[in-house]
Amino acid sequence: MEKIRVCVRKRPLGMREVRRGEINIITVEDKETLLVHEKKEAVDLTQYILQHVFYFDEVFDEVCTNQDVYMKTTHPLIQHIFNGGNATCFAYGQTGAGKTYTMIGTHQNPGLYALAAKDIFRQLEVSQPRRHCFVWISFYEIYCGQLYDLLNRRKRLFAREDSKHVVQIVGLRELQVDSVELLLEVILKGSKERSTGATGVNADSSRSHAIIQIQIKDSAKRTFGRISFIDLAGSERAADARDSDRQTKMEGAEINQSLLALKECIRALDQEHTHTPFRQSKLTQVLKDSFIGNAKTCMIANISPSHVATEHTLNTLRYADRVKEL
């Protein structure tokens, strides 16, 4: 399997969107091709449809389930982590496009991390030499360049690079879990702790990156494989860097910076002698291990099907396109 896979997932139109008369402008042509039908107005005010074509490693349409997405994106990474590798899975996209649904999901419809954990538990059970290995999890968020522990009442955390250039998050709570049920419970509780934004009015996770890490450790607590799931901040927030409100502007600038750095860091995985700019954002700094050595990455760009979201959808697809373009 290649080091980088870039996939797109289109969500269905919601009931409210249908009622508002929003229309679907995305066609999944085949499992690698996607079309966007953009409505344009000519100078003489006649309307026409501009068609954009995009190719990705995998395109998921609105009928695909988390399980389908899992099988094509994350499942191939599980063997890699059992071989001692490092794997990372990102959900990118505009707020409301389906990132959290994909990564975290709900109790009835668990996200990719839970499906991965199920696989990991199953493999640990059947593999004799791995019988003394355990699953450990951590869950934290990055909001405005600062780290908060979602498994420890949003305790502020600090990242530090040790003498071997390994980035450590000091004091991060790690829990050992022995079943998927317990894991779900812990993560769903943690996700309720996600950032409410500085204004604190609406619960709003769109301005923070949430990171779930699953590690396999031996009885001496040495890690031999790790997979991370990142529910990224809403990509449209990067444009808030131009906002007039100081706090929003700062949040936007931070998100913009981290999404740009992320793209460069993932791209660097495929290019042997390039510099990887981890230090350009907190996100890429704490995920340093995901961009070096035998790391493998998968990005799922989530998109809304609605004509109302055309501009953001095109931005998301262009970003995802550039993550892989040589």
Residues in contact with ligand ADP by the rule CB under 6 A: 11-12, 14, 93, 95-101, 206, 302
> Phi then psi for 72, rounded to 5 degrees?
-90, -15
Q: How far is the CB of 231 from Mg ion (least distance, A)?
A: 6
| Distance separating alpha carbons of residues 258 and 213, to the nearest angstrom | 19
CA 87 to chain CA centroid, Å, is 12
Q: How far is the CB of 188 from ligand ADP (least distance, A)?
A: 14
Q: How far is the CB of 221 from Mg ion (least distance, A)?
A: 32
Tell me the CA end-to-end span of the chain in Å, nearest whole number: 18
Q: How far is the CB of 176 from ligand ADP (least distance, A)?
A: 28
Residue 91 contacts by C-beta under 8 Å, 6 or more apart in sequence?
98, 99, 100, 102, 103, 229, 230, 231, 232, 300, 302
Measuring CA to CA, which residue among 25, 15, 9 is closest to residue 308?
Answer: 25
Q: CB nearer to ligand ADP: give 86 or 205.
A: 205
Q: Which partner in Mg ion, ligand ADP, none is near 27 (CB below 5 to 8 A by kind)? A: none
Q: Which partner in Mg ion, ligand ADP, none is near 302 (CB below 5 to 8 A by kind)? A: ligand ADP
| Distance separating alpha carbons of residues 206 and 232, to the nearest angstrom | 8
Q: How many chain residues bind Mg ion (CB under 5 A)?
A: 2
Q: CB nearer to ligand ADP: give 12 or 76.
A: 12
- Which sign does the torsion angle of CA 104, 109, 110, 111 carry? negative
Site string for Mg ion, 205-224 (x = CB under 5 A): x-------------------
Q: CB nearer to Mg ion: give 120 or 233.
A: 233
- 100 forms part of the interface with Mg ion (CB under 5 A): yes
Binding positions for Mg ion, rule: CB under 5 A: 100, 205
